[in-house]
Amino acid sequence: MSEDLISQLKTMLIEGLLLEDIVPDDLSPDDALFGGGLGLDSIDALEIGVMLDRQYGIKITSGDERNNQIFLSLRSLADFVAANRTR
């Protein structure tokens, strides 16, 4: 997995979720995306799913039992994208 993909995902999250006062350098690849980390919620997860579909051709369903692992951190999300992207 490349740092370039992590950088792309940082930009996608900041712009797509309209995260104000956050720049890519503020996001550590290993920080939690939900809960005490970046503080995203379930609506944000849905929006991320839509963005991943548009950008990378990845389909994630709400019932996927891997979701907690996929969305654990930016690094785990990047690993998932790298392994499953169709574009």
CA distance 48 to 71: 9
- Paired strand residues for 34: 40
For residue 37, the Cα-to-chain-centroid distance in whole angstroms is 13
Q: What is the pLDDT of residue 87?
A: 87
Q: What is the pLDDT of residue 15?
A: 96
Overall number of domains in the chain: 1
Contact 76, 70 (CB under 8 A): yes
Regarding pTM above 0.85, the answer is yes
CATH of the domain at 14: 1.10.1200.10
**Using one digit for the tens of pLDDT, what is the confidence trace for 6-32?**
999 999 999 999 998 899 999 999 999
Q: Domain range for residue 16?
A: 3-84
Q: Which residue has the higher pLDDT, 35 or 22?
A: 22
